[in-house]
Amino acid sequence: MEQTETTGRSVPSSAVAAHMQAAQERARVHPAWQALNFEKWIKCVILGDVLDEGDEVLEISCGHTGAEDSNTGGAGGGTHHTYARHKIQHLTTVDSSATVVAAAQRKWEKTKRFDAEFATADLYTISLDQVLREGRSFDVVVCFDGMQNSFASEETAEMFLRSATCRLREGGYFLGFLPDSSAIWSKAAKVNSKGDEAPKFGGDLYKIEFNDDLSRFQPFGTSYTHRMREMEDRKQYLVHFPTLLQLARKLQLEMVEVVNFIDFYEDHKKSHEAALTEIMGWTKTNKKLFPNQLELIGLRTTFVFRKLRSGESMP
């Protein structure tokens, strides 16, 4: 059997299989390898859109991927690689886990391509303003996959958002990605249209199980468990976007965009094709996102906020 590519050329299935196997090996062979690599591409594109030479950046909830070595040698890799490519001047890294922060620092010390400082802080309970060096401020604040659990309560969500943006300069950006609550909520509503049971749904790569019935999407405290093969189960909270926007307004943050990953892909796949090809380990003739990976990819959304300048009013 032969597989037809979008170019119209035919590629023998054995060649496709060999190529995909090599790409998977490069991605360290996780079943969700395309979805995970896709996140790297999003990071690279979204940061590339806002970073300027000389910027001072704050990355919160950095996790292990922040300082991950580039596994593509080029466009991809961890966020540090992207910061270096865009010649930022200084990075402040914060996470609640001292182990994570120490790992990020060790990786940074190998190359020191920009100035950096590292801090451990629980942003649900501590105001970052008290932790940061006096006078330090940021052009860009980055939070990939780190804000959702602050939506356990109003207090933690407000504290997290306030901490994230307390030193953001006027005109600066607060950006990242999150689970897409609307996508998750609508899938959950489909499997339990009456809203009287805790719904479960998923594909072969993931399962989502709500912890309560879905009679109401609460502004805070609506939780579910996200299970992924070969990863620890994660309890997460839905981010109620109208509430996020209200909290953001109080902090003079204007929403620039919130875009589901699938729409982001459609909007940027041509303009950032080279990076996508490289990160995915695709070839010129073989560029395909598999349906099960797309299902997972579609559960996430980007967000970008901008801090208003004094005198500017909220649109």
Ligand X SMILES: C[S@@+](CC[C@H](N)C(=O)[O-])C[C@H]1O[C@@H](n2cnc3c(N)ncnc32)[C@H](O)[C@@H]1O
Q: Do residues 76 and 37 lie in contact, with contact meaning Cβ atoms separated by under 8 Å?
A: yes
- Which C-beta is closer to ligand X: that of 123 or that of 262? 123
- Which C-beta is closer to ligand X: that of 122 or that of 257? 122
Shortest Å distance, C-beta 226 to ligand X: 10
- Which C-beta is closer to ligand X: that of 148 or that of 252? 148
Shortest Å distance, C-beta 148 to ligand X: 9
Q: From the CA atom positions of the chain, what is the Rg in Å? A: 20
Shortest Å distance, C-beta 272 to ligand X: 18
Shortest Å distance, C-beta 143 to ligand X: 7
Residue 115's beta-bridge partner residues? 90
Q: What percent of the residues of the chain are helix, what percent strand, and what percent coil, each to the nearest 5?
A: 40, 25, 35
- Which C-beta is closer to ligand X: that of 231 or that of 274? 231
Distance CA 52, CA 149 (A): 30
Residue number of the CB closest to ligand X reads: 63
- Which C-beta is closer to ligand X: that of 124 or that of 290? 124
Tell me the CA distances in angstroms from 205 to 32, 33, 231, one per residue in order: 6, 10, 11
Distance CA 92, CA 156 (A): 22
Shortest Å distance, C-beta 23 to ligand X: 20
Record the tokens describing residue 140, joined without a space.
Answer: 């860009």
C-beta atoms surrounding 141 within 10 Å = 25
- Which C-beta is closer to ligand X: that of 300 or that of 307? 300
- Which C-beta is closer to ligand X: that of 63 or that of 219? 63
Distance CA 288, CA 276 (A): 11
Shortest Å distance, C-beta 151 to ligand X: 12
Binding site for ligand X (CB under 6 A): 61-63, 65, 95-97, 100, 122-124, 144-146
For Cα atoms 217, 146, 82, give the angle at the middle one, nearest 5 degrees. 135
Distance CA 195, CA 127 (A): 37
Transcribe 42-61 into DSSP letters.
Answer: HHHHHHHHH--TT-EEEEES
Shortest Å distance, C-beta 75 to ligand X: 17
